[in-house]
Structure 1
Amino acid sequence: MTPSTSRIAQPGEEFNMVLSKGQSPSTPGAFGTFDDVPNQQFVRDQPAVRTDWKDDVSVLQRYRIPEGGDPIRIQESIIGPQTDPTLGHLPGGAGQLEILNYTDRARLIPVGPPVEIPK
């Protein structure tokens, strides 16, 4: 098991978040990755996003930590393996970050428009 690290995100840091079609970039979730996201298979395998957690993993949005205001605390870890009810074993292994304070999610700054993740 890989330990988690809690830290204050640095203003200007950028990371990727997988969204579902129709999910507004202005309402991000809690989890993202500093890793590149080359395709939807990567999203299922390395970040181990289960189909019962997020059925559609076809959109990628990059976000930036804002300058100023209260600090945003994140937790970083390496994603462990998961068992998906449809896909079976998902190996994990990607880096993961979690925005710990729910209200901090609304402060994230979208970087460019959302883009389609290739299959």
Structure 2
Amino acid sequence: MLPIIETRPRHPFAAVMALALLGGCTAAGGVDRPASASTAQCDTQSIDSRPGRIWWKEQSWRYASDADATAAYQAIATGSDPWPNWFTPSQQDLAVGTRFQMALGKGQPETSPGGFGTFDNIESVRDVRVHLAVEYAWKPDIDRVVTYEVIKTLPVKIGPIGPQADPHGCAWLPGRWSQLQMMVPSANRIDYLKVVAVRPIE
């Protein structure tokens, strides 16, 4: 079998990226390393940041040029789009009886749910960061998971979770689990739901 030859131009800082990747980080998603003085000022908008290098290795092949790939990454790093850039959600209704989970932070009552839930099983705070792509600034003290059940037809958008570049710990949060976005005002969300179970996570 003939070898596959890469014909696309390499990133101009490929050597730097390779050395940085070999130099050291942790598991996929990069959330295991605590924030330090060197990462506290992480410029996540730079393609040469740690999140940028991880994204480049995984996703740059999708783009015809380095410039297009860099622009796509920077759009992720500068925004907070909850969906992947290749996906456009459509609105639908969750039927009565449908259950989903949501991670809550300290001080957030179960009767005041956030806007997003998942059909995947949340087992740890790491799941919330890596697979649900919840940045530290959004929920710094996650301590429990709530299972909700729909009691009144609930308008939602459903799809995969888009990635985020988190300045805290200079982390790349890939997302990719399922998510639903409730399309009702925050003050009215609990009118559509009932709490089925609450359990701690760490």
- Check whether TM > 0.5: yes
Match of 2:158 in 1: 76
2:144 is the counterpart of 1:62: no
**For each residue in 1:62-81, what CA deviation from the matched residue of structure 2 results, as whole angstroms up to 9, or x when unmatched?**
000005xxx32011121111
Match of 1:25 in 2: 110
**Percent identity over paired residues:** 32
Q: Distance in 1 between matches of 2:92 and 2:146?
A: 22
More off after superposition, 22-31 vs 9-18: 22-31
Q: Secondary structure at the match of 2:119?
A: coil
Higher relative contact order (CA 8 A, sep 6+): 1
Deviation at 1:84, TM superposition (A): 0.6
Match of 2:181 in 1: 98
Q: Give the partner amino acid of 1:101.
A: V
Structure 1: where are the runs of 5+ without partners? none
How many residues of Structure 1 are paired with residues of Structure 2 in the alignment? 114
Q: Secondary structure at the match of 1:41?
A: helix
Q: Distance in 2 between matches of 1:54 and 1:24?
A: 13
Structure 2: where are the runs of 5+ without partners? 1-85
Which structure has the bigger radius of gyration?
2
Deviation at 1:5, TM superposition (A): 2.9
Q: Distance in 2 between matches of 1:28 and 1:81?
A: 22
2:115 is the counterpart of 1:4: no
**For each residue in 1:64-115, what CA deviation from the matched residue of structure 2 results, as whole angstroms up to 9, or x when unmatched?**
0005xxx320111211110111132111101110111114412110003x21
TM-score after normalising by structure 1: 0.89
Which of the pair is proportionally richer in helix?
2
TM-score after normalising by structure 2: 0.54
Q: Secondary structure at the match of 1:42?
A: helix
2:135 is the counterpart of 1:50: yes
Q: Give the partner amino acid of 1:95.
A: S
Which of the pair is proportionally richer in strand?
1
Query: How large is the Cα RMSD of the aligned pairs?
Result: 1.3
**Could you tell me whether the CA contact under 8 Å between 1:45 and 1:92 is conserved in 2?**
yes
Q: Secondary structure at the match of 2:128?
A: helix
Deviation at 1:16, TM superposition (A): 0.2
Q: Secondary structure at the match of 1:58?
A: strand
**For each residue in 1:46-69, what CA deviation from the matched residue of structure 2 results, as whole angstroms up to 9, or x when unmatched?**
1100011111122100000005xx
Deviation above 6 Å: which 4+ runs of structure 1? Answer: none
Q: Give the partner amino acid of 2:189.
A: R
Q: Distance in 2 between matches of 1:33 and 1:84?
A: 20
